[in-house]
Structure 1
Amino acid sequence: MTETPNPHIIDADTLTGEMRPIRRAVLALGSNLGERMASLQGAVDAIADTPDVWVTGVSPVYETEPVDSPADADKYLNAVVLIDTTLAASRLMDRALAIEDAFDRERSEVHNAPRTLDVDLIVVGDRRSDDESLRLPHPRATERAFVLKPWLDVDPGAEFPDLGPVSDLLEKTDQSGIVLREDLVLEVQ
């Protein structure tokens, strides 16, 4: 069982003594190659095992049609994980990439190529970043039902920074290619 930390507590880094606030972050998971469900569960486990990260919610799993992918791409399994963390956004991004690599994610020049695992940072507190390696909030999340629907399921009052309720954003997206998979459940160990 994961303990939810008090969001008003500030945690001191044990090495530097630097005070870092606990921030809520939203991570989107996706897989359309190999053992899709095993990859998603492995990602949830790896996130939960990350120091200075507390998983506070995991969404239901959805099966979705590929978006802007090659024509022969298989359907995705998607989910959203809510965490509280004291990690800097850049360190959280490094961890997301390491988790993808652990599941043999192959990077390709092909736009939205099929993948064993995708771990995207959607929001990290109120952090903003427009670096090539880290864009926050995620620039296309508001257009993607496969991110917004599971996010709304796990956090019905969710707000997207500067744009308002996730429920309002979801209403503006095409939800035709997203199907709830009640037979698939991700668990936090």
Structure 2
Amino acid sequence: MISQRVPVLLAFGANLGDRGETIRLAQHDLAAADGIADLVASPLRETIALTPAGPDPEAPSYLNGVATAETTLSPHALLDLVQAIEAQHGRIRGDHWGDRTLDIDIILFGGRVVKDERLQIPHPHAHTRDFVLAPWLDLDASAVLMGHGRVAELLARVGDTTRPFEESQHA
């Protein structure tokens, strides 16, 4: 049986530890996983931490990026995979919107809509998050978020508070 490859968009964030290294290692782990192909990562962008009360300049700042890939996994199998990768990189699920070593969100899964107790696709807040929209535009200037429209227009609407992040070049 031939499994169909489905395009996906994933968002990565971290505000504890070596943020850039953690995100890049997680992306490498994901790219090497069974059922994942053609992962392409955006440049990373730095943002102020977002809490339930709003932006918090006193909290450690986040690095964020996105990646496109193709998968033969089901949406829930992909969720299990990204949660296992988060755990491998020290993610502890505590406070909602709390500090974290790694966060990986599934933003899009082909044209599918998933809504259950474990997973919601398209991601319900992606259209309001500059830290998802800005790196996505870096990757694809003509990107469209299913159900919400052109990413460039969404980013113009919410405003871009992100800053480019200069990644160190490891030999």
Deviation digits for residues 50-102 of structure 1 (CA, Å, limit 9, x no counterpart)? 11211342101101111125854200011111101111111111101000000
Percent pairwise identity: 35
Rounded to whole Å, the distance in 1 between the matches of 2:155 and 2:138 is: 11
Question: Gapped runs of 5+ residues in structure 2?
Answer: none
TM-score by length of 2: 0.91
2:143/2:150 contact within 8 Å kept: yes
Aligned match of 2:145: 160
Aligned match of 1:111: 96
- 1:38-187 to 2 correspondences below 5 Å: 38-68=21-51, 71=56, 72-108=58-94, 110-176=95-161, 178-181=162-165, 183-184=166-167
Deviation digits for residues 120-163 of structure 1 (CA, Å, limit 9, x no counterpart)? 00001011111121100000011000000101111112111122
Over aligned residues, Cα RMSD in angstroms? 1.8
**Largest Rg, 1 or 2:** 1
Question: Gapped runs of 5+ residues in structure 1?
Answer: 1-16
TM-score by length of 1: 0.82
Rounded to whole Å, the distance in 2 between the matches of 1:97 and 1:170 is: 27
Aligned match of 1:14: none
- Pairs aligned (count): 167
Rounded to whole Å, the distance in 2 between the matches of 1:63 and 1:131 is: 31
Q: Which has the higher helix share?
A: 2
Runs of 4+ in structure 1 off by over 3 angstroms are 69-72
SS at match of 2:49: coil
Rounded to whole Å, the distance in 2 between the matches of 1:20 and 1:93 is: 18
1:58/1:186 contact within 8 Å kept: no
1:39/1:116 contact within 8 Å kept: yes
